[in-house]
Amino acid sequence: MSDLRVGIDVGGTNTDAVVLDGDGRVIAKAKRPTTPDVTEGLRAALDAVLASLGESRERIGRVMLGTTHATNAILERRHLGRVAVLRLGAPATTGVPPLSGWPDDLRKAVSAGEAVLPGGHYVDGRELARPGLDAVRRFLDEVEAEAVAITGVFSPASGDHERLVGELVRDEYGLPVSLSHEIGSLGLLERENATVLNAALYGVAADVTGALVAALAERGLGARPYLAQNDGTLMTLEHAARLPVATIGSGPANSLRGAAYLSGAADAVVVDVGGTSTDLGVLAGGFPRESAAAVEIGGVLTNFRMPDILAVALGGGTVVRERGLGPDSVGYRIAEEALVFGGATPTMTDAAVAASRTPPDDPGWRLDVPQAVAGMLRRAVTAADELVADAVDRMTLGRTDRPLVAVGGGAFVLPARVPGAGELIRPEHAEVANAVGAAIALASGRVDTILPAGDSRSKAIERAKEEAAARAVAAGADPSLVEIVDLLEVPLSYLSEPAVRVHVKAAGPLAR
The predicted pLDDT at position 377 comes to 93
The alpha carbon of 430 is separated from its chain's Cα centroid by a whole number of angstroms, namely 19
Q: What share of the chain is helix, strand, coil (3-state, %, to 5)?
A: 40, 30, 35
169, pLDDT greater than 90: yes
Question: Which of 216-220, 438-442, 456-460, 473-477 is the least confident region?
Answer: 456-460
Residues 6+ apart with CB under 8 A from 364: none
Residue 134 per-residue DSSP state: H
Question: Which of 267-271, 374-378, 456-460, 470-474 is the least confident region?
Answer: 456-460
pLDDT tens-place string over residues 6-36: 999 887 778 899 999 988 899 999 988 877 7
Residues 6+ apart with CB under 8 A from 81: 110, 146, 147, 199, 200, 201, 202, 203
pLDDT tens-place string over residues 260-297: 999 999 899 999 998 888 889 999 888 888 876 677 88
**Cβ proximity of 195 and 149 under 8 Å:** yes
The predicted pLDDT at position 361 comes to 77
Q: What share of the chain in percent tops pLDDT 70?
A: 98
The predicted pLDDT at position 299 comes to 86
Residue 263 per-residue DSSP state: H
Residues 6+ apart with CB under 8 A from 279: 251, 252, 255, 271, 272, 309, 310, 311
More confident residue, 20 or 486: 20
Read off the pTM: 0.82
- Cα–Cα distance for residue pair 91/210, rounded to 1 Å: 42
- Cα–Cα distance for residue pair 334/276, rounded to 1 Å: 10
494, pLDDT greater than 70: no
- Cα–Cα distance for residue pair 243/126, rounded to 1 Å: 27
**Cβ proximity of 484 and 468 under 8 Å:** yes
Residues 6+ apart with CB under 8 A from 167: none
The predicted pLDDT at position 482 comes to 93
